Amino acid sequence: MSDFLIRRDDLRETRWVPADLPALPDGAARLKVDKFALTANNVTYATFGEQMKYWDFFPAADPADGRVPVWGFATVVESKVEHLKEGERFYGYLPISEHFDVQPVNVGKHGFLDGAAHRQGLAPIYNTYINTAGDPSYDAALEDQQMLFRPLFTTGWMIDDCLMETGDPVPETVVISSASSKTAMALAHCLKVRGGVDTIALTSPGNVAFLKKTGLYARVQTYDDADDLHTRGLTAFVDFLGRPTLTADIHNALKDRLVRSLIIGATDWEGDRSPIALPDPQPEFFFVPTYAAERAATLGGAEINRRLGAALKSFYAASKSFVTPKHAKGAKAIAKAWDQTVDAKVSPSEGLILSI
């Protein structure tokens, strides 16, 4: 067995290390990682690993190292848990490792929660493992799209819901930074399907043509033009880039038209994130597990899943027109893929699907 380790204070310093497979205790199960997606979202997990406790899901022996979580499929290879059988396959939060152990609780036909002590107090959405045999939204032909987009689309869908269903006031225009990121495109898709709201993409010059071709945005502009931005009506800014100087440009350009400013991630993870004084509204950090729990309390979990499931399937089909899965296998390929993702060298038209 081997684990992919990342130096917490230098995301470019990585290595594979051998790991022993200890005897499995009662109440535990061992899963083999089959395949997973790697996106800029995983770099965000590493960037905010300590602040948001992403490093806590799969602790490394040396606290200076981290095991970044990814989303993918894994198969049970050994089980000492009632009702959990070898050969069952699950979708969920995985380490970049050959195997990992869980302590399943609430085991049922749809899946289980990992009840391990070190995962207590962490967001349940990340501790949930979904059995493919009991997942109504699972489609074997769309596994790549599920790994690439299910968690990212969920974020995009929740942002859309936050702005357009529970927001007060509801914006007429949404400006989205790092607009070629997969979560940003998921949000743009949701807003386009909803209708009645303009979307403006902010991106680097090299991604302008790609974003125009997707048809997801009403307008595409580069970051250099942000200080001269014009929008229709009340406007929300959704920030995936995490660059305070850009946020300041948006706030100062839009003035009273800006009614919401949401911070989602930091694709510009090496940039200077020192705070800058801003005119209102002040930026809000949007954390999906918190918002999802609030909406589930209002609508009920079943209704959330119904709405999200229907939207997810439509996006899987739509995404095929602008993102092509790219498969790679082996330790060297995974290390290279991580380096490319950290350095933002992966084309937005590609989605990395990796296996050990």
Strands 173-176 vs 258-263: parallel, antiparallel or unpaired: unpaired
> In the chain, which ranges are continuous DSSP H helix?
40-47, 124-127, 143-164, 182-194, 208-214, 244-254, 288-299, 301-319, 331-342
pLDDT grade, residue 81 (50/70/90)?
very high
In the sheet that 235-239 helps form, which strands lie side by side, from edge to edge?
Answer: 219-222, 198-203, 173-176, 235-239, 258-263, 284-285
What domains are there in the chain, each with its CATH number? Answer: 2-135+323-355 (3.90.180.10), 149-290 (3.40.50.720)
The residues facing 112 across adjacent strands are 129
Percent of the chain with pLDDT over 70: 97
**Residue 270: predicted pLDDT:** 61
pLDDT grade, residue 306 (50/70/90)?
confident
Question: What digits encode the pLDDT tens for the residues 253-293?
Answer: 999 999 999 998 766 556 666 678 888 899 998 988 889 88
The residues facing 15 across adjacent strands are 5
Q: Considering the entire predicted model, what is its pTM? A: 0.86
* Mean pLDDT on 220-224: 96
The better pLDDT of the pair 306, 95 is held by 95
The residues facing 327 across adjacent strands are 353
pLDDT grade, residue 123 (50/70/90)?
confident
pLDDT at position 242 over 90: no
**Residue 287: predicted pLDDT:** 85
* Mean pLDDT on 141-162: 93
Question: What digits encode the pLDDT tens for the residues 162-213?
Answer: 999 998 899 999 999 999 999 999 999 999 999 999 999 999 999 999 999 9
The radius of gyration computed from the CA coordinates of the chain, to the nearest angstrom, equals 20
Percent of the chain with pLDDT over 90: 78
